Structure 1
């Protein structure tokens, strides 16, 4: 997925940050936090919309742990930048399609997680996911890619 790596490199070089809130601000993508029962989320953790009344938006649950929220926002930014032809995308832990794997890869790489094989030796994927604080389903999905 070198093309995604190149998008991330260009993004970080252009804006001198990998902070998701700053990037969304630079790119004019509004982040809107909603209660988990909001009809806009439809029982999802987040929802990206390319054009809602002329505005690009990421709706996200307001009760997520900070690092998980940041990872999910990076995932949604991945859709915005890697999939310009989609109008919207919803995030759940069970999404497994090609576009979802690419968005997860984008989020993982933008987070710049450095995996130390010695430190992680003997850990299960679930333990690794807990250790680096990303969803287990994401690390399981990316295991064959990274």
Structure 2
């Protein structure tokens, strides 16, 4: 897994806009955030999704019942799709041709790096990965990706 190129995107984003704050980045990039009830048909059972051309605007639709930290992670994840997957068309036809798992891993990595989580190994000594993920309000699979990247010095 070589994601240094994603690190370069994040560094450039922070240099250009002078912030890591996800809400400020969305404002600067003119990407709208629209909160919806989790039962809304647009979400199709997901927590959020990014649409590049919704009424000629970029928008992220996100559930309105997520806690603040998890909402930030999801918004960072969707921003990752917006920035690093600019040539991807997410139609029903193209979904069959894409390696969606790879794209999701890249967006998760983008989110975790942008959030710049500080994990004090001493403070979490003896904790299970599930407990650590819960303390950061992250899915376990995302935390594993972060730990793998640190172990491989990606």
TM-score, reference length from structure 1: 0.89
Aligned to 1:103: 107
RMSD between superposed Cα atoms in Å: 1.6
Verify the 8 A CA contact 1:50 1:88 in the aligned structure 2.
no
Segments of 5+ residues of structure 2 without an aligned counterpart are 92-99
Q: Once the 2 structures are TM-superposed, how far is the Cα of residue 122 of structure 1 from its aligned partner?
A: 2.0
Following TM superposition, the consecutive aligned residue runs of length 4 or more in structure 1 with deviations greater than 4 angstroms are none
The 5 A counterparts of 1:125-136 are 125-136=129-140
**What is the number of equivalent residue pairs in this alignment?**
140
Aligned to 1:11: 13
Q: Once the 2 structures are TM-superposed, how far is the Cα of residue 127 of structure 1 from its aligned partner?
A: 1.1
Structure 2 Cα separation of the partners of residues 97 and 143 of structure 1: 18
TM-score, reference length from structure 2: 0.85
Segments of 5+ residues of structure 1 without an aligned counterpart are 90-95
Aligned to 1:93: none
Verify the 8 A CA contact 2:109 2:145 in the aligned structure 1.
no
Aligned to 2:32: 30
C-alpha spacing 1:33/1:54, structure 2 compared with 1 (3 Å):
same
Q: Once the 2 structures are TM-superposed, how far is the Cα of residue 36 of structure 1 from its aligned partner?
A: 0.6
Verify the 8 A CA contact 1:45 1:60 in the aligned structure 2.
yes
Q: Once the 2 structures are TM-superposed, how far is the Cα of residue 88 of structure 1 from its aligned partner?
A: 4.3
Residue 137 of structure 2 is aligned to residue 139 of structure 1: no
Verify the 8 A CA contact 1:50 1:56 in the aligned structure 2.
yes
